[in-house]
Amino acid sequence: MATSEHLRTLEAESIYILREVAAEFARPVLLYSIGKDSSVLLRLAQKAFHPGPMPFPLLHIDTTYKFREMIEFRDRQAAAIGATLIVHTNTQAIAGGAQPFAIGTQRCCGLLKTTALLDALEAGRFDAAFGGARRDEERSRAKERIFSLRDAHGQWDPRRQRPEPWRILNARLNPGESVRVFPLSNWTELDVWHYIQAEQIPVVPLYFAREREVIVRGASLIVPEQPFVPLLPGERTTRVMCRMRSLGCSPCTGAVRSEATTVADIIEELVAVRQSERQLRVIDHDQDGSMEMKKREGYF
Amino acid sequence: MSGILRLCTAGSVDDGKSTLLGRLLYDSRGVYEDQIRSVQAASRNRTSGPIDFSLFTDGLRAEREQGITIDVAYRYFATARRKFILADTPGHEQYTRNMATGASTADLAVLLVDARRGIREQTWRHARIARLFGITTFVLAVNKIDLVDFDEQVFRGIVEAAPDALDGARVQAIPISALHGDNVIEPSARTPWYDGPPLLPFLETIDVAGRGASDAFRFPVQLVLRPDATFRGYAGQVASGTIAAGDTVRVWPSGARTRVTRIVTWDGDLPVARSGMSVTLVLERDLDVARGDVLSSAPPHVGRRFSADVVWMDEQPLRSGCPYVLKHGARSVTAEVDRTLSLNEIGRVTVTAARPLAFERYGDDRTTGSFILIDPATNFTAGAGMIAEPVAERRAGLAGNHAAARLAQAARGADTDEAAVTLVERMLEEMLI
């Protein structure tokens, strides 16, 4: 389906965006979320500045509830690439007992992701933050600009976004403002996997199917890594052949039943499957238009 | 064919653009089942008919509540033959700026017309904007053909009344029903009088290459890469043409001549780089090349003044004689214009920049022929400009020494005496005419 030619076009556009940011902003940072999109973004950043090093650090917002394999992969990758890695956690909220089953997913995300992100950006005085978000992921993201303007509180106002004719990017900011930059805006989930295959980019093993100990809850398969994930009446853990389609916090990210053990298998599965990747992310569905609301509050 | 077709949509409110896009996404399986379920849930609150396809593309709560599209939404779908990037642009006149944004990167525009209403002022306006932005291939999709009983005469009447803005463009008129799918993916049995292709097969096979751009090599320098004392390279994306290692190029606006010794990428050095590729060029001579300079094989226009068509996108009107930040390629300069424009107005202005720029006419090259105007007070992207013609710098006091230095430098850099004369002649013409 995808041609290598169209992947080269997407790659060249993304590299153009990465270079514009490096040229025009004082303190860029790459938000590294460890998932497949971040892995692609990282490879593109390596390419954009070759033979020089990436001229910005990586920032990971660690909720402490990410899958263990994600954290191991993160540290291994950062070391292999020689990148500077900043890890930030809202330790105060964790100490206060923040977890999804105690305070609900909306408040938990707000404290451990949005607040933590805004605090980390402020602490680093970062004026541009790269993210791996794509416009095909979700309805409000389809309206995002390449440079997503945020106010002093990191908030998104869809009516204040600047027009982006051609590929001329306006990098001028008023005091206190910053941008989130999305070099993968025009990529689709399938493009990302095709590129990972073509470039042999390492990804977290959680993406590949194997037997895992899970709680089967409706259509979701929950991996009980965190001790606070409750077993509902009648539930027990079982071993299921499954994989993650999207990576997040283990209590809120469901696995899908799958036999796909290689990138080629995953691509084949995606072409056949008719469900979107964020379906098993509980946090997108807590109310209608919830991604739009999270973005207005400063979420990615 | 790059493997990607970029298209935008245009038409009046209620002509059914969002419905058509929803249909394309749905039928080409670009919309996943859980998104469909969420749309079905939302549909129940609004309509009692079949799935409301426009809900796939109206992304913001405010839009769903008001039943309108207020911002450009980008959609992606792929078939076995092509990947499509589709800018769904709003129909309301107050969002003309978004139509302009969508058209600026598109290869093709789909003009939606309601078969019952015919072509309206808004559609004509959109067609004109699309032409202005360099689109030369159009689909005139005569929608809701089911509501006029699939009447061929109605279709013919609309095609014949096609706006003047389409004169000289390549136009494919297709009778469709976005709601019922007639002539969208498959030929419809209900329009036996139509023997052209359905919409999607047409989009899959249309060749839009070679639109406008001339073949000269042009490369705006984005970034100077100097990781250590041994390497100095110029990073950027090839705007047009091709370059091979060993080729001679000039650096503009200075006009200095040099040779490309290496084309560097992370995947190894390349013998040749083509239009659209992001690469890093190493030059033979240690020249003073900076971000914003343009490397090219044919001399561009170099100057501080040019006429341009500007689409004004800000509520604060464009004022003559006030300073704006003009971003052209990778260079930002202070500039002013000679007339005013209000929100959504399109007009021909003369631009005077504080420093010389190396540019082309928009019709010759979309990249080095386009610019944006930024209001320095708000930093809003207020205008989109397309360069029409260079304009002579009449005030010798300003152009004076600067011009002489540029001429001398250009002449010194030329390969032969003959080339020097041609170059100086062209530069003088631009300054004096």
Three-state SS for B345? coil
Q: Which residue has the higher pLDDT, B222 or A293?
A: B222
pLDDT over threshold 60, residue B391: yes
d(CA A231, CA A219): 16
**Which has the higher per-residue pLDDT, B15 or A29?**
A29
Q: How far apart are CA B44 and CA B66, in angstroms?
A: 15
Can the peptide bond before residue B253 be classed as cis, meaning omega within 30 degrees of 0?
A: yes
Query: Tell me, what's the pLDDT at B59?
Result: 55
How far is A276 from chain B, CA to nearest CA, in Å?
Answer: 5
| Set of chain A residues whose Cβ sits within 8 Å of the Cβ of B80 | 1
A218 touches chain B (CB under 8 A): no
Measured between CA atoms, how close is B359 to chain A, in angstroms? 15
The residue of chain A with its CA nearest to that of B277 is A12
Q: Which residues of B touch A13 (CB under 8 A)?
A: 237, 278
* pLDDT band, very low/low/confident/very high, at B49 (cuts 50, 70, 90): very low
Most distant CA pair in chain B, distance: 78
Distance from CA of A97 to the nearest CA of B (A): 33
Nearest-neighbour CA in chain B from A262: distance (Å):
22
Contacts of B265 in chain A (CB under 8 A): 47, 50
pLDDT at position B165 is: 75
Give the separation between CA A165 and CA A88, rounded to whole angstroms.
35
Sorted by where each begins, the domain ranges of chain B are 4-205, 218-296, 301-390, 396-432
**Whole-number pLDDT of residue B47:** 45
Average confidence (pLDDT) over A191-211: 95
> What pLDDT shows up at residue A272?
75
Task: Look at residue A24 and tell me whether its pLDDT is greater than 50.
Answer: yes
Which residue among A8, A143, A172 sits closest to B72, beta carbon to beta carbon? A143
State the average pLDDT over residues A169-178: 93
Enumerate the residues of chain A whose CB falls inside 8 A of the CB of residue B380: 162
- Segment B268-281 mean pLDDT: 96
Verify whether the Cβ–Cβ distance B2 to A9 is below 8 Å: yes
Query: What pLDDT shows up at residue B66?
Result: 56
Whether B283 shows a pLDDT value over 70: the answer reads yes
CATH code for the domain defined by B218-296: 2.40.30.10
Nearest CA in chain B to A7: B3
**Cβ pair B193, B207 in contact under 8 A:** no
- CA–centroid distance for B209 within its chain: 14
Q: Is the dihedral angle over the CA atoms A157, A163, A167, A173 positive or is it negative?
A: negative
Q: How many angstroms away from the CA of B150 is the closest CA of chain A? A: 34
Contact predicate B397/B315, CB 8 Å: no
Q: What is the pLDDT of residue B46?
A: 46
Query: Cα distance from A212 to chain B (closest Cα, Å)?
Result: 25
Answer yes or no: is pLDDT of A183 > 90.
Answer: yes
At A230-282, the pLDDT tens digits run: 888 888 889 999 999 889 999 998 899 999 999 999 988 887 765 555 555 55
CA distance B298 to chain A (A): 23
Q: Which of A105-109, A136-140, A219-223, A234-238 has the lowest mean pLDDT?
A: A136-140
Coil, helix or strand at residue B208: coil
pLDDT at B79 over 50: yes
Residue-range domain boundaries for chain A: 4-200+289-297, 205-283
Which CATH number applies to B301-390? 2.40.30.10
- pLDDT value of residue B122: 79
Per the listing, tokens 């002649």 go with: B425
Which of A136, A166, A276 minimizes the C-alpha distance to B75?
A: A136
Distance (Å, whole) CA A173 – CA B375: 11
User: Residue A273: exposed, middle, or buried by beta-carbon count in 10 A (0-12, 13-18, 19+)?
Assistant: middle
Amino acid at B80: A
Rounded to whole angstroms, how far apart are CA atoms A230 and A224? 9
* pLDDT over threshold 90, residue B400: no
Question: Is B1's pLDDT higher than 60?
Answer: no
Asked if residues A114 and A299 have their Cβ atoms less than 8 Å apart, the reply is: yes
Segment 97-136 of chain A within 8 Å of chain B by CB: 135-136
The per-residue pLDDT for B123 is: 81
Q: What's the rounded Cα separation, in Å, for the pair A141 and B69?
A: 14
Of A4, A47, A50, which to mutate for an interface test with B (greatest number of B Cβ within 10 Å)? A50
In terms of phi and psi (left: phi > 0; alpha: psi -120 to 50; beta: otherwise), the region of A15 is alpha
Residue A76 makes CB contacts below 8 A (sequence gap 6+) with: none
CB atoms within 10 A of CB B229: 6
Q: Does residue B325 sit at the A interface (CB-CB below 8 Å)?
A: yes
Partner-chain contact B78 A174, CB within 8 Å: no
**Token digits for B208?**
């839009």
Please tell me the distance from the alpha carbon of residue B9 to that of residue B18, in angstroms, as a whole number: 9
- Measured between CB atoms, does B33 come within 8 Å of chain A? yes
Residue B127: predicted pLDDT: 87
Crossing angle between the packed helical segments A189-199 and A36-49, to the nearest 10 degrees: 60
> Cβ contacts (< 8 Å) between B58 and chain A: which residues?
139
**Which residue would you say has higher pLDDT here, B211 or B179?**
B179
- The H-assigned helical ranges of A141-289 are 189-199, 263-272
pLDDT averaged over every residue in chain A:
89
Max Cα–Cα distance, chain A, nearest Å: 58
CB-side neighbour CA atoms (13 Å) of B5: 23
Percent of chain B residues topping a pLDDT of 90: 56
- pLDDT value at A139 more than 90: no
Q: How far apart are CA B328 and CA A101, in angstroms?
A: 52
Q: Quote the pLDDT of residue B399.
A: 46
Contact flag A6-B80 (C-beta cutoff 8 Å): no
Check if the beta carbon of residue B58 is closer than 8 Å to that of residue B25.
Answer: no
Mean pLDDT of B181-194: 93
Indicate whether B406 pLDDT > 80: no
Any chain A CB within 8 A of the CB of B266?
A: yes
Structure confidence at residue B61 as a pLDDT band (50, 70, 90)? low
Angle at B345 between CA B343 and CA B349, to 5 degrees: 115
A-interface mutation test, from B29, B225, B226, B326, most A Cβ less than 10 A away: B225
Q: Is B74–A47 a contact, with Cβ atoms under 8 angstroms apart?
A: no
- For B34, nearest residue in chain A (alpha carbons): A275
B278–A contact, CB cutoff 8 A:
yes
Place of tokens 């047409």: B202
Question: Which residues in chain B touch residue A167, judged by CB atoms under 8 angstroms apart?
Answer: 105, 367
On the question of pLDDT at B21 being above 90, the answer is: no
Q: Looking at A172-176, B18-22, B126-130, which range is the least confident one?
A: B18-22
Distance CA B161, CA B124 (A): 11
Reply yes or no on whether the pLDDT at B192 is more than 60: yes
pLDDT at B40: 61
Q: Does B343 touch chain A (CB under 8 A)?
A: no
Token readout for B263 is: 């084309």
**Residue spans of beta strands (DSSP E) within B96-194:** 108-114, 137-143, 170-175
CATH number of A4-200+289-297: 3.40.50.620
Is the pLDDT assigned to residue B36 strictly greater than 60?
Answer: no
How is domain B4-205 classified at the CATH fold level? Answer: Rossmann fold (3.40.50)
Instruction: For chain B, say whether A2 makes contact (Cβ under 8 Å).
Output: yes
Each residue of A107-135: pLDDT tens digit?
Answer: 999 999 999 999 999 999 999 999 999 98
Are B380 and A162 in contact (CB < 8 Å)? yes
Nearest to B247 by CA among B233, B260, B238, B237: B260
pLDDT band at B48 (very low <50, low <70, confident <90, very high): very low
Considering only A157-161, A296-300, B46-50, B244-248, which range has the smallest mean pLDDT?
B46-50
Question: What residues does B333 pair with on adjacent strands?
Answer: B326
Residue B416 has pLDDT above 80, yes or no: no
- Fold identical between B4-205 and B218-296? no
Residue B145 has pLDDT above 70, yes or no: yes
A30-44, A179-193, A202-216, B40-54, range with the lowest pLDDT: B40-54
Q: Which of B52, B60, B208 to mutate to test the interface with A (most CBs of A within 10 A)?
A: B60
**Could you tell me the pLDDT band of residue B126, with boundaries at 50, 70 and 90?**
confident
Q: Find the residue in B nearest to A55 (Cα).
A: B227
Closest CA of chain A from B404, distance in Å = 31
The predicted structure's pLDDT at residue A107: 93
Q: Scanning every residue of chain A, which has its alpha carbon at the shortest distance from the alpha carbon of B29?
A: A274
What's the pLDDT at A231? 85
Which of A164, A168, A279 is nearest residue B34 as measured by Cβ atoms? Answer: A279
Q: Do B384 and A165 touch (CB under 8 A)?
A: yes
Which member of A3, A162, A166 has the closest CB to residue B3?
A3
DSSP assigned state of B145: G
**Across residues B375-403, what is the average pLDDT?**
80
Instruction: Give first-to-last CA distance, chain B, whole Å.
Output: 40
Q: Are the beta carbons of B237 and A12 separated by less than 8 Å?
A: yes
How high is the mean pLDDT of chain B?
Answer: 85
CA distance B259 to B250: 8
Q: Does B411 touch chain A (CB under 8 A)?
A: no
Q: Judge whether residue B270 has pLDDT over 50.
A: yes
b/e A243-253 (16+ beta carbons within 10 angstroms → b): bbbbbbbbbbb
Contact across the interface for B42 and A16, Cβ inside 8 Å: no
